[in-house]
Amino acid sequence: MKTLSLSFIGFGNVGRSVARVLLDKKQFFKERYGIEFKTVSITDSSATVWDEEIDLREALIVKENFGSLSKWTNDYEVFDLKPIDVVREVESDIVIDVTNDLNAHVWHLQALREGRSIVTSNKPPLAFHYRELMREANRRGLSYKFEATVMAGTPIITLLQEALKGDRIERIEGVFNGTTTFILSRMERGESFEEALRKAQELGIAERDPSGDINGVDAGYKATILHCVAFEPITFEDVILKGIGGITRREVMEARGRGNTIRLVAKIEKGNVIVEPREIPRNSPLAVAETQNAAVIKTDLLGELLLRGAGAGLKETASGVVSDIIRASKIKI
Amino acid sequence: MKTLSLSFIGFGNVGRSVARVLLDKKQFFKERYGIEFKTVSITDSSATVWDEEIDLREALIVKENFGSLSKWTNDYEVFDLKPIDVVREVESDIVIDVTNDLNAHVWHLQALREGRSIVTSNKPPLAFHYRELMREANRRGLSYKFEATVMAGTPIITLLQEALKGDRIERIEGVFNGTTTFILSRMERGESFEEALRKAQELGIAERDPSGDINGVDAGYKATILHCVAFEPITFEDVILKGIGGITRREVMEARGRGNTIRLVAKIEKGNVIVEPREIPRNSPLAVAETQNAAVIKTDLLGELLLRGAGAGLKETASGVVSDIIRASKIKI
């Protein structure tokens, strides 16, 4: 039995969902992989709990009842440590970044320098610093895993990294943002952009500030990451971006009249990444519904390969993070 | 630069397609992976050519012009070696089985005992001896790779082996045989089973003896292999099989009238594998056309994941074999 120590940075919805999977599947991971995990620190925006082994079940209860870890003073010592301090001071094997911290690359790099592997669902570090992060991880023989950054747990990253080794990838086209799909689908049923957006916010599909989804930044981050994996490192600045903000109900209805549908599509070719609303046939593999994502990978030998699955959701995102935690454990299976 | 030596067993359409990819992509593999391959033996049904390094380009010319390697006496020495002799006597790192040899497991096991890794597109060894073959490979730290046995190069095996590590797979449903899809599609357009089968044979889609496709054995082999990878080792005898031989034009047309289509569907659950013709909605992800294959993998965390791509074809099968050859080379990438 191998025991790996984990530092959680971020304990919001995704972080807690990961914690729940680790708890629920403790026995499964022991039996299948011969590994056990212990959590040595959890950091939320209020504080860091740090101990030899934190009871994840209690941590979930505290966070869900009191909203922040800083309240948890009767069982554990609570520290005022920022992520950069945590990766320096807390001895852990794997640091799990489930934040939205735009500048997380700074402490990712520090964690790697300290000999810790990284598992992350946080896109900006990769979309802006892929080359640097990978170089640091490879140089030290550490893992830097990020399945959940694109298509939640749908394993497009692992597929691109581990399969198709003899093929030359020519193009990836995909729909990687569920909020825009939701809005465009509502507009097809006659709602205005504003009505559809409001509905998305009511249902918790769009965030209070939905601009990252609407203007294509979220899909652009994902497209950047896919280019880095499939071709070579680029940054988000290299992506041509057009959001769905300018789409009118009339355009959507006209497309519908032609038997088509509009989706925010990312096209990724070597040195050429475009995210834009595109009119596609209703029976196109990219004509996804709800929070589904789809990617068509075109290669020289295999032709077209379609991967379609969850692109959002808590369990679905936890699936990617947990798979990465196990892969980062580097056990022989 | 690492050089790996290859023994080809089988030099039919698939074997030669693999050889062509290795030739065409020599430079690509050097640059991307730092590996070179040299072919030290090629065995067809007539003979074995064995040399320090065989010129694959010449081998292709000889085979294609003369039909058998036994004619190739001016450049290389030609031996009367069967596969079991080849794996014993020829020093190679990787043995590539692209035959249909039903008893290939005997020389697969021998190759492993001699310290050689295996890459195979040949289904019966796995469908009948999965446990034994894997045990032997794992015990010796060797690779035993078989991506091309299911869905040609569409990477369902690599995906099941390398991704979704935190998920519990609940079910796989898929269409894994293109010949039956072709026949059923023609019947939808009004042909009888016999007419459709004859057409498939004319086009080279069905073999002269098409029984393995028609009665579901081919799909059954593939379903067996998927069960072994996703759950635990079983053998082909554990599979419940019903072919498409009994399907009438009338049944097909009636299904069509209901907006449905009939496909030979494999359902794989733990301890329960069924291959049978099933009526599915026209817009089902399993309603594939031509030689496409599709698999829907259902898991506890991710929900449903669809993988759809080539299920046959020479380049498409070579894609899987070559990817496996590179993975079996165990280079750090």
CB contacts of A309 in chain B (<8 Å) are 302-306
Quick one: pLDDT at residue A333? Answer: 42
CB contacts of A141 in chain B (<8 Å) are none
What's the mean pLDDT when you consider all of chain B? 96
Cβ(A322)–Cβ(A204) below 8 Å: no
Quick one: pLDDT at residue B22? Answer: 98
Inspect the interface and report whether the beta carbons of A166 and B33 lie closer than 8 Å: no
> Residue B159 in 3-state DSSP?
helix
State whether residue B276 sits within 8 Å of chain A by CB: no
Name residues of chain A where pLDDT drops below 70. 331-333
For chain B, strand residue ranges (E) read 2-9, 35-43, 48-54, 78-79, 94-97, 117-120, 144-145, 169-175, 239-241, 260-269, 272-281, 292-299, 303-310
CA distance B180 to B176: 9
Least CB–CB distance from B166: residue in A152, A305, A326 = A326
Quick one: pLDDT at residue B231? Answer: 98
State whether residue B319 sits within 8 Å of chain A by CB: yes
Q: How far is CA B153 from the centre of its chain?
A: 8
Phi, psi torsion values for A24, nearest 5 degrees:
-65, -30
Phi, psi torsion values for B192, nearest 5 degrees:
-80, 165
Cβ(A169)–Cβ(A299) below 8 Å: yes
CA distance B290 to B177: 10
Quick one: pLDDT at residue B170? Answer: 98
CA distance A108 to A311: 24
Q: How many CB pairs below 8 Å do chains A and B form together?
A: 136
Give B84's DSSP letter.
Answer: H
Q: What percent of chain B has pLDDT over 70?
A: 99
Quick one: pLDDT at residue A331? Answer: 60
Instruction: Using DSSP bridges, classify how beta strands A272-281 and A260-269 pair: parallel, antiparallel or unpaired.
Output: antiparallel
Instruction: Using DSSP bridges, classify how beta strands B260-269 and A239-241 pair: parallel, antiparallel or unpaired.
Output: unpaired
Is the pLDDT at B333 greater than 80? The verdict is no
CA distance A145 to B28: 26
Element (H, E) at A129: helix A123-139
Least CB–CB distance from B305: residue in A154, A167, A302 = A154
Give A209's DSSP letter.
Answer: S
CA distance A317 to A97: 13
Element (H, E) at A53: strand A48-54
- Catalogue all structural domains in chain A, each as residue range(s) with its CATH number: 2-152+314-328 (3.40.50.720), 166-310 (3.30.360.10)
What does the block give as tokens for B283? 């817009």
Tell me the Cα Rg of chain B: 20
User: How many other β-carbons are positioned within 10 Å of the β-carbon of residue B51?
Assistant: 15
Can B222 be counted among the known catalytic residues?
Answer: yes
Does the global pTM surpass 0.95?
yes
CB contacts of A293 in chain B (<8 Å) are none
CA distance B81 to A81: 69
Least CB–CB distance from B323: residue in A155, A165, A283 = A165
Q: What percent of chain B has pLDDT over 90?
A: 93
State whether residue B134 sits within 8 Å of chain A by CB: no
CA distance A92 to B73: 64
For A157-288, strand residue ranges (E) read 169-175, 239-241, 260-269, 272-281
Q: How confident is the model at residue B331 (pLDDT cuts 50, 70, 90)?
A: low
Element (H, E) at B257: helix B249-257
Residues 28 to 87 of A: which have CB under 8 A from any B CB?
28-29, 33
Quick one: pLDDT at residue A75? Answer: 78
What does the block give as tokens for B70? 């036994």
Is the pLDDT at B292 greater than 50? The verdict is yes
What does the block give as tokens for A177? 């943002």
Inspect the interface and report whether the beta carbons of A323 and B167 lie closer than 8 Å: yes
Give A245's DSSP letter.
Answer: T
The residue among A228 and B291 whose pLDDT is bigger is A228
Is the pLDDT at B207 greater than 90? The verdict is no
Cβ(A234)–Cβ(A136) below 8 Å: no
Cβ(A182)–Cβ(A289) below 8 Å: no
Element (H, E) at B156: helix B156-162
Instruction: Tell which of A165, A305, A324, A326 to mutate to test the B interface (max B CBs under 10 Å).
Output: A165
Cβ(A219)–Cβ(A189) below 8 Å: no
Is the pLDDT at B213 greater than 50? The verdict is yes
CA distance B154 to A123: 28
CA distance A183 to A244: 9
CA distance A167 to B101: 27
Quick one: pLDDT at residue B274? Answer: 98
Largest CA distance in chain B: 64
Residues β-bridged to residue A280? A261
Is the pLDDT at B300 greater than 50? The verdict is yes
State whether residue B312 sits within 8 Å of chain A by CB: no
